[in-house]
Amino acid sequence: MALAGLVGLVAAGQAAAEVTILAFGDSLTQGYGLPEADGFVPQLQRWLDANGGGDVTLINGGVSGDTTAGGLSRIAWSLDDSVDGVIVALGGNDVLRGLQPSDIRANLDGILTEIDTRGLPAILAGLPAPSNYGKEYKAEFKAIFPDLAEKHGAIHYRSFLAGLGDGRNMFQVMGLFQSDGIHPNAEGVTAIVEHIGPVVLELAGRAR
């Protein structure tokens, strides 16, 4: 009986150590244009399983076309009791629509505030600052992500797409996108995952 009780305690401890992370984003997170197995969340799950994150389970909270306003409207009900940490990757669709950086900032601030109320750690993933709206817009947009990460104690990840450019020339980078030039192909997602994977392990460590 004593041995059985000890085994039960060990099993309970192992269960308690499991970490669930919500990947909360738009089509880049959702896996737009790809077979399900090639999307960001399934590829990241496999990377984690192979690199010391076997106790981490990912939830795909990506909604294609979502903006930061859309994310703010759904973050509360997305954070059920199973979630231990969050990857926030929103803002690309706001930029495509030319929405104001002040509104993007306010929405992301609201999302992170809701995550804070649950006492959860987070990654805030930025995006390349656009140039087509002028220097002032670019500077304001670029500042959003490090500023809010610092305010909320989140892990700042400079760009969700960071893995696509590191060590590659322009033609190699172009070969990592689908025909729309916006969404990464399966190989591109693999590059993204390999770059962000260690940061997600850091998030899991905070969640534990």
pLDDT digit string (tens) for 123-133? Answer: 999 999 889 99
* pTM check: above 0.75: yes
Active-site annotation, residues: 27, 180, 183
CA distances from 200 to 18, 35, 63, 78 (A): 14, 23, 20, 19
Pick left, alpha or beta for residue 29 (phi over 0 → left; psi -120 to 50 → alpha; otherwise beta): alpha
Spatial neighbors of 5 by CB under 8 A, at least 6 apart, are: none
By the 8 A CB rule, do 199 and 23 touch?
A: no
pLDDT digit string (tens) for 58-117? Answer: 999 999 999 999 999 999 999 999 999 999 999 999 999 999 999 999 999 999 999 999
Domains detected in the chain: 18-207 (3.40.50.1110)
> What number is the average pLDDT over the span 1-30?
69
Place of tokens 């880049």: 28
Rounded CA-CA distance 204/207 in Å is: 5
